Structure 1
Amino acid sequence: METFMQTAFPWLMVAATILFTIYGQLVIKWQVMLERTPPHPMLEGLPSLVQLLFRPWIISALLAAFLASMCWMLAMSRLELSRAYPFMALNFILVGFLAVPFFGEAMTRPKIIGLLFVIIGLVISSRG
């Protein structure tokens, strides 16, 4: 009989990878949209990209990327890459849909069709 660690845990790590990745993408988009005021006067002459690196929310997004990587490594220690990796497509789907309410992005017909193709690909590849 398989234990929790052998069955559900790796899939929870895949889900955590997806959630951390989505969080990071949304936070970075939100932060780059904000007015570009330096968080501290010492950063004033630095390029805007460097200034962004000192924002707490950007740091949290980078931490989320690190945590996503850690979760992915745990998942990969127990799952076949070809079986788990298609689920990373959920990032495209969820970020695409969440960008509409959070950032006012348009959900156009081409975007919907593209996301439907991603969903179809996910369904097909997850059955193989």
Structure 2
Amino acid sequence: MQFFFNHLYIFLSICFAVSSQLIIKWQMSGQDFTQHATMIDKFAFAFAMLLNPFILLSLLFTLLSGLAWMIAMSRFDISYAYPFTTLGFVLVLVLSSILFNEVITWQKILGVLFIVIGIFITSKST
């Protein structure tokens, strides 16, 4: 049971980080940062986006990801735990396809296979 809970912190860290990135993508889709001509306009736009409740939620998720990672680091060698963070790439690939209709190419699938194989090999080396 301890094995499960220790690994849970790694996966919580990954899930919070991925959720944060997906929320930012969702909120920034359709926004054109380049349309703001002056630096003052750019700062005003950035500040307004920081007040967006979903962007604030994204920042909270980033903080929670960091806290979960800190707990994971107290229980695992970083050389064991860090390769699991690449699962974030896999989740982003799948979820961005579902949520944002992004295309999954054969190159991306091949890359994900390499990631999964790498995690398997790395996790068995300890």
**TM-score, normalization by structure 2:** 0.84
Query: C-alpha distance in 1, partners of 2:95/2:53?
Result: 22
Unaligned runs of 5+ in 2: 33-40
Q: 2:69 maps to what in 1?
A: 72
Q: 1:32 maps to what in 2?
A: 28
Q: 2:116 maps to what in 1?
A: 119
Unaligned runs of 5+ in 1: 37-44
Equivalent in 47, 50, 58 of residue 50 of structure 1: 47
* Residue correspondences, number: 117
Q: 2:8 maps to what in 1?
A: 12
> Which residue identity is paired with 1:84?
A
Percent sequence identity over matched residues?
39
State the SS of the aligned residue for 2:75. coil
Please list every run of at least 4 consecutive aligned residues from structure 1 whose deviation after the TM superposition is greater than 6 angstroms.
none
User: Cα RMSD over matched residues?
Assistant: 1.8
**TM-score, normalization by structure 1:** 0.83
More helix by percentage: 2
> Which residue identity is paired with 2:120?
V
